[in-house]
Structures are given as C-alpha cells and as structure tokens.
C-alpha cells in the first residue's frame, strides 16, 4: 500500500493508519503520508491511469488503500469543459470549467465520501456520520445507503429545503441542529467520543480529505498531463483548495507533470469570509466569524484549514477574495448564460470571484484558467427565484407579439 502513516501537518509526528483526526503530541491536523518510491516509470503510470475506470479509482495508486475498494456509487471523472464564451466575456485567454456537479449526488463531496466510506468499511465501522452544510449530507446518506451502512447526518436547521429533502430520501437519520455549521461540527466532534461511529469529517478526516486530491489529478490528466496557470476554487474549510494543490505537487514530485504549481485563487462570500479577510489584512490566522450569506455550503465561520489556504494562496502568488450575495447570484447567471452549466450558490461565489479577478487584470491574455464548480444549481433554487423573467401570454400570435420582445431580424 502506498500509504504509510498518518502524519501531523504541524510537528511531523507519524501515527498508525487508524481513525483519528489530530496529533497526540501537539493536537495538529493529520494527513496521509505516502511512499511513491516504486512509481518511477512516469510513461507507464500515465498509461495505467488512462486504462483505469472512469472514476476516482483510476488514481488508486495515490489513495490510502492496499487494493482498489469495491464501491456501489462511482464518483469522479467529471467533465472539464473549455468555455470560449465565458473566456470571451471576461477577456481571459482560456477558461476551463471543472463541473463536479456531474457526480452521483451532484457535488464534489461524492469524491471525499467515496474514500471515507471505503476506509470506514475497511476499519470495521458499521455506522457513518457527518456534520454538513448540505452537499456532504447528500453524499454520506447516499453512499451509506449503497454500502448497506447506517448513517447519521447532522445539518444546520435552516439548511435549504432542497438539500434536506435530497438527504432524507436515502433513509438516513437526519438531525437538524439549531445553530450554524460550527455548532454542528462541535456537536459531532463531541459525539465522536461517545459513539463508535465513523464521522467522515472528524475521526476519518485525513482519509476524507484525500478524495479532494483526485480533483487535482483529474484536471491535470484532462489537460493532457499539463498544469493550468490559475485555479479559482471555493473556500469553506479550506480542505478542497489545499488538497487540489497537493495533488498537483504529488504528480510533480514523481515526474507525471512538469512545471510549477499554478496560482491558486480562493473564493468566499462576504457574509462568511474569514480567510479572505485574513488574506487582505496580511494576517496568518483566520478570525472566526458568524456566517450570514446565501452561500450556505461555504458558511464555515471557523475554517479548519484556513491557515493552510492562506499559505497556499501566498506562496503561489494567488489570492483569496470575497463577493456579495448580489454578486453570487450574478455569478450563477453568468456561468449559466455562457456555459449552460447551472451551479449552486458556491459556484456563483467562484464564478463571481473569477469575474472580479478578470476585471482587475489578474490573468494574462494567454493564461489558462480552471474554474472549480462544486455543486448543482437545483440544490439552491431559491437563490435565483427573483431573477428569472417569465412572459405570460394567451395562446395566440397576437398576444405573443404584444408581450414578448423579439429582436429585429430574429
């Protein structure tokens, strides 16, 4: 197995590959450590990857399992769409949209849950659980149902109705907590010490985070084993943002890629922007905030990986920016009108930050930019309810002609 241990990101202490989320010595966060010394044939490895399944498991040599797990729901290998119309609208050389809404439960969370549930089964857990702002709840409930495991899903009580319904339908134990995500996460951390359950983003967090690395692998492969110049990605906890970069770095280290890590640009909503505020202020820590934004899937006021997100943005000459709720809605419309992709509010945040950066001249005329879209717009319909225009007509040509504007020559 390429995975050798869990390693503390702060002090470097290594511990066994079991269920734990922090270092016993310094309480720092843990990540999976790998030994890739046997992967020395880059050309052969590329061929092996390309011959693999159309899922994250084509990258099984880079995931923490001795052999590829059997899973009921296949996640990953989602489209990377070149959008010439969006690039032209923004005045950017090339824009590629990584549409991770094309996953089984319509968000990138299928990647992380697929890895976490497979590890939970390997470690002998019968129950999986999570704290969620919505998309993770959908994914845990679905993957647990497919695997025949019991599940408990904890969400803020004011979560979007579409996400609540799309979680409960799988037969999970759905728990609505009167509080924000940070309250939910704190409760789950306490419960992880009371129940022998696999909390995918608590005691299985090191493995869960590995699923996000596959987004980096996939983007690089779909670009012909090349790197983009810029990545624009949403930031909630900061894990996705940093793990995509970790995927690029890993492939660079073993010769699968050449060049340098692209500039990483994080996207937050102004109503919950602790990382963006720290970046703007030049600070190294993120001050917790109380979320108030329509982008509820990004509403984490005390981000676990915020410090690492700051470090990544700075070392790659990137940025972390915030946009208003109004800009978020416009971002949803901009993406839909130019690409045909309908994204949830998190994607509206990311697209709005892409536009903001383009307007500021952050991209060169020949730059290749990858926009990470993490979820489906049908999950947050209320966000665009007031911006859609409908023309009501009688079933006659006259009524149509009098009511609906038609441009000359159309």
Tens-level pLDDT at each residue, the chain (410 residues):
789 999 999 999 999 999 998 998 999 999 999 998 888 889 999 999 999 999 999 999 999 998 889 888 999 999 999 999 999 999 999 999 999 999 999 999 999 999 999 999 999 999 999 999 899 999 999 999 999 999 999 999 999 999 999 999 999 999 999 999 999 999 999 999 999 999 999 999 999 999 999 999 999 999 999 999 999 999 999 999 999 999 999 999 999 999 999 999 999 999 999 999 999 999 999 999 999 999 999 999 999 999 999 999 999 999 999 999 999 999 999 999 999 999 999 999 999 999 999 999 999 999 999 999 999 999 999 999 998 999 999 999 999 999 999 988 76
> How far, in Å, are 26, 56, 367 from residue 214 at the CA level?
29, 6, 23
User: Is the CATH number of domain 80-106+208-387 3.40.50.1100?
Assistant: yes
Is 207 within 8 Å of 31 (Cβ atoms)? no
d(CA 183, CA 327) in angstroms, rounded, equals 27
Whether the pTM exceeds 0.85: the reply is yes
Q: How many CB atoms lie within 10 A of CB 382?
A: 11
Q: Shortest CA distance to 64 belongs to which of 107, 2, 10?
A: 2
Render 180-224 in DSSP notation, one character per residue. -HHHHHHHHHHHTTTS--EETTTTTHHHHHHHHHHHHHHHHHHTT
Q: Name residue, tokens 């009167």.
A: 178
In the chain, where the domains are located:
1-35, 80-106+208-387
Residue in the block written with tokens 């020949």: 366
Query: What pLDDT was estimated at residue 409?
Result: 74
Whole-number Å distance between alpha carbons of 205 and 376: 24
Q: How far is CA 80 from CA 97, 101, 149, 166, 178, in A?
A: 6, 11, 32, 25, 38
Helix and strand tally (H, E) in the chain? 13, 13
| Predicted local confidence at residue 336, as pLDDT | 98
- H helix or E strand, kind and range, residue 136: helix 135-147
Sheet of 14-15: strand order equals 14-15, 3-8, 30-34
In angstroms, the CA 47 to CA 42 distance is: 9
**Res 38: pLDDT:** 85
Return the pLDDT at 13. 94
């Amino acid at each position: 197995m390429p995975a050798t241990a869990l390693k503390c990101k702060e002090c470097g202490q290594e511990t066994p590959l079991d269920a734990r989320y922090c270092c016993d010595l310094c309480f720092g966060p843990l990540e999976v450590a790998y030994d890739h010394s046997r992967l020395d044939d880059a050309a052969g490895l590329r061929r092996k990857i390309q011959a693999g399944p159309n899922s994250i498991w084509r990258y099984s040599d880079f995931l923490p399992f001795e052999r590829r797990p059997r899973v009921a729901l296949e996640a990953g290998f989602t489209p990377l769409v070149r959008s010439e119309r969006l690039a032209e609208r923004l005045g950017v050389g090339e824009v590629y949209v990584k549409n991770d809404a094309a996953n089984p439960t319509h968000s990138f969370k299928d990647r992380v849950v697929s890895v976490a549930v497979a590890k939970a089964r390997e470690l002998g857990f019968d129950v999986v659980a999570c704290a969620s702002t919505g998309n993770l709840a959908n994914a845990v409930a679905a993957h647990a149902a497919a695997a025949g495991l019991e599940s408990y899903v904890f969400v803020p009580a004011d979560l979007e109705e579409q996400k609540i319904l799309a979680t409960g339908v799988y037969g999970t134990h759905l728990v609505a907590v009167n509080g924000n995500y940070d309250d939910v996460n704190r409760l789950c951390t306490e419960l992880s010490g009371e129940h022998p359950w696999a909390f995918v983003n608590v005691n299985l967090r090191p493995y869960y985070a590995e699923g996000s690395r596959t987004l980096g692998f996939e983007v690089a492969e779909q670009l012909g084993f090349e790197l983009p110049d810029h990545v624009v990605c949403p930031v909630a906890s900061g894990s996705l943002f940093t793990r995509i970069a970790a995927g690029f770095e890993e492939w660079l280290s073993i010769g699968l890629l050449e060049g340098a890590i692209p500039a990483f640009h994080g996207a937050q909503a102004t109503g919950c922007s602790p990382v963006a505020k720290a970046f703007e202020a030049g600070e190294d820590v993120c001050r917790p905030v109380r979320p108030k934004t329509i982008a509820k899937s990004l509403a984490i006021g005390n981000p676990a990986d915020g410090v690492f997100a700051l470090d990544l943005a700075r070392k790659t000459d990137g940025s972390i920016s915030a946009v208003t709720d109004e800009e978020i809605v416009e971002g949803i419309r901009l993406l839909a009108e130019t690409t045909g992709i309908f994204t949830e509010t998190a994607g509206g945040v990311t697209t709005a930050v892409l536009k903001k950066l383009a307007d500021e001249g952050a991209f060169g005329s020949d730059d290749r930019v990858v926009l990470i879209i993490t979820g489906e717009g049908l999950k947050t319909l209320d966000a665009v309810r007031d911006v859609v225009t409908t023309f009501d007509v009688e079933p006659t040509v006259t009524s149509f002609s009098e009511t609906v504007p038609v441009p000359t020559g159309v």
